[in-house]
Structure 1
């Protein structure tokens, strides 16, 4: 699901041509009928800190083991958000060279580490390099603290209250080192997320995905494409908070070049759409990060069966 929520997928399992067909208005209804099943939750113990969730060659996906690893993930985020992208750092962020906020203290941090790329720590020991990360916050943990990060931009409490008994999870702060932005790393991250979802019996994933730039008019075609083709059905629709709401319906459907709009979408947003995600009502401009954010909503029951089957209903594809 991105800086506050979701910023990385360079490749996916579907081609852009197939994805365009998937999101043309004529295809949307049938695709919804045929693409979804409710995967059962196997009886498995919750994910443990540091437990390996999957491996591909020298790459391993697992949760951070300690705060030292969280700090390394924060440095990775700083490099992507503040040095590669256009986030504006305050004095503390510049001094520490870490992207950090209070949510980090109680979130789980999913990591991809490369055992073939060793970095020497302050004690002189060689440690595998952290090359990708996702931040995960479960509803029961959010309820014990300050709620979800996403609530600062969207009224997600409305769908939480409308779905009592369902377990929500927020995805955020995703990034991958530039040399690792490939199909293998992305698949491993999603394998880790899918393992986590099954272990913790998650029903709904949410998070904010970012599009570079703070001018909605400059990305009017992309926003309008999402509004007309991927907007959440009424029962899952969430509106941006009133004082930050930006209209996404900026062009009529017949004025949109769907292929061009899709091609211009960030890779991560396209990845979420392939998985079967919906988008919320309205965008939000985040001037600190230099982005325009959209809300991603992924009920587990709506996930594309192609992806469920690919990773395995028990997340066994890349299990070690």
Structure 2
């Protein structure tokens, strides 16, 4: 059972339908869906992590985790959008992190830090060797993120043995199409905070972006091999998790 308290925030696993409904309501606000809740069949299969404000018990962040093995990779949410057959050969426990969101009215970086502390505790407790998911960019206009995509191409593409292949009907193949040298300052300014955190852990990404018109986002498949996280970064994460 994951539960920790750090400063102004505490995290815990969802404990029933009421907690999951609260997470779905926050997701609906963050993802701007038309209904009052954002839900799908994966919710029933996942462990949901909630981050609350200690001051007023308000839910400020949530995400969900789905444990898998390589043989089960086709059962992941991400497999709807990416051909992940190469990852079936991954020899180790995996967890897919999804539906990560923070209350859009808040901008406290400690929320993300505490959320990652909870994720680290889960990874360590369950012997996870690969963390993966879809990292989203707001909107569907790829022109807004060309420097960010150029940076991903230059520094963070997945190794060929794990590289996801195209499956979704609407994609932008940035690795093949972009010939620009990235402006690193612009790239980091346009990089989503969650993906920036992944990259600081040594993450790799798909060579194409999925254009998800339904969710009004662009996203790249993102993987973090736990054994490859830089030692200094591991120490920071475990300090929060502890």
Same fold at TM > 0.5: yes
Q: Conserved in 1, the CA contact under 8 Å of 2:86 and 2:161?
A: no
Q: Conserved in 2, the CA contact under 8 Å of 1:276 and 1:304?
A: yes
Secondary structure at 2:178's aligned position in 1? coil
Secondary structure at 2:55's aligned position in 1? strand
Match of 2:78 in 1: 150
Of Structure 1 and Structure 2, the greater strand share is in 2
Change (3 A) 1:71 1:242: closer
Change (3 A) 1:66 1:306: same
Match of 2:47 in 1: 108
Report the RMSD for the aligned CA atoms in angstroms: 2.1
Match of 1:220 in 2: 146
Q: Conserved in 1, the CA contact under 8 Å of 2:81 and 2:168?
A: no
The runs of 5 or more residues in structure 1 that have no matched partner are 1-47, 118-127
Distance (Å, rounded) in 2 between the aligned partners of 1:184 and 1:219: 26
So what's the TM-score if we normalise by structure 1?
A: 0.70
Match of 1:132 in 2: 61
Q: Conserved in 2, the CA contact under 8 Å of 1:278 and 1:298?
A: yes
Give the deviation of 1:318 after TM superposition.
Answer: 4.6
Q: Conserved in 2, the CA contact under 8 Å of 1:240 and 1:280?
A: no
Matched, 1:203 2:129: yes
Match of 2:13 in 1: 63
Selected match of 1:99 from 20, 38, 45: 38
Change (3 A) 1:139 1:275: same
- 1:288-307 correspondence to structure 2 within 5 Å: 288-307=214-233
The C-alpha deviation readout for 1:195-218, integer Å capped at 9, x for no partner, is 100111111011001112223234
Give the deviation of 1:261 after TM superposition.
Answer: 1.8
Q: Conserved in 1, the CA contact under 8 Å of 2:118 and 2:241?
A: no
Give the deviation of 1:234 after TM superposition.
Answer: 1.8
Match of 1:252 in 2: 179
Distance (Å, rounded) in 1 between the aligned partners of 2:164 and 2:190: 24
So what's the TM-score if we normalise by structure 2?
A: 0.91
Give the deviation of 1:114 after TM superposition.
Answer: 1.9
Change (3 A) 1:188 1:218: closer
Q: Conserved in 1, the CA contact under 8 Å of 2:113 and 2:240?
A: no
The C-alpha deviation readout for 1:93-148, integer Å capped at 9, x for no partner, is x2xx011111111111011112321xxxxxxxxxx2211101111116x949x810
Change (3 A) 1:62 1:253: same
Q: Conserved in 2, the CA contact under 8 Å of 1:55 and 1:318?
A: no
Change (3 A) 1:214 1:199: same
Counting matched residue pairs gives 240
Distance (Å, rounded) in 1 between the aligned partners of 2:198 and 2:84: 18
